[in-house]
Each structure stands twice: as C-alpha cells, then as structure tokens.
C-alpha cells in the first residue's frame, strides 16, 4: 500500500456573502435577515387550491413528502402553504 503525500488536502472557494436589501433599499447582513430585524418582502401565500402539485401516479408518496417539507421549510420565511390542488398524471402518457 502506498499513500500519497497530499491525500488529505482539500481545495475550496469561499463564496461572497449575499447582498440583502431591506424595504428602504439599505444593505443589511444575513444575520439581520435571519433574526427578522427588519420586515422581509411580502411573503408568498400558497392558498388552498390556488396552486398545484403535479405528479406521476407512482410518485404519490414523494409528492406528499414534498408538500410536507414545503410546509415545514416555509414557516421560517413567513410563507403560508395550504393544501394544493393535486394533479395525478397517469404513467406512460406523453404530452400531445
């Protein structure tokens, strides 16, 4: 067995911090945004039956997981996610 000299070296690139503007167009930090120290943009509202999840008949479970995760993840940003209109597309059908 032979171990190369630099086998543990890791290359990385540091990304720039996001530029966040408050409602007065003043630049704010990500910590201010996460801490809700200023009002966010108008949050999105996915209201009951005003939006859809389209899924294949074999992807029913994944569609439900997507919906549940959207509900969980959206709360922190003030996004309201209510029941979608469920559209099941039969497998094997192609658009015409």
pLDDT single digits (tens) 71-94: 998 887 778 899 999 999 887 655
* Residue 37 to residue 15: CA distance in whole angstroms: 24
- Model pTM greater than 0.75? no
* Residue 77 to residue 33: CA distance in whole angstroms: 10
Select the more confidently predicted residue: 56 or 36. 56
Please state which CATH number belongs to domain 40-96: 3.40.50.2300
- Tokens for 8? 């543990």
Instruction: List the domain boundaries for the chain.
Output: 40-96
* Residue 61 to residue 55: CA distance in whole angstroms: 10
Length of the chain: 96
Q: Cβ–Cβ contacts within 10 Å for residue 45, how many?
A: 13
């Amino acid at each position: 067995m032979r171990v190369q000299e630099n086998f543990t070296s890791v290359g990385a690139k540091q990304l720039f911090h996001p530029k966040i503007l408050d409602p007065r167009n003043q630049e704010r930090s990500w910590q201010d945004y996460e801490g809700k120290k200023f009002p966010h943009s108008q949050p999105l509202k996915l209201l009951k039956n005003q939006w859809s999840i389209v899924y294949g008949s074999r992807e029913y479970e994944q569609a439900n997981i997507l919906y549940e995760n959207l509900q969980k993840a959206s709360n922190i940003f003030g996004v309201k996610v209510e029941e979608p209109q469920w559209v099941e597309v039969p497998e094997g059908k192609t658009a015409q």
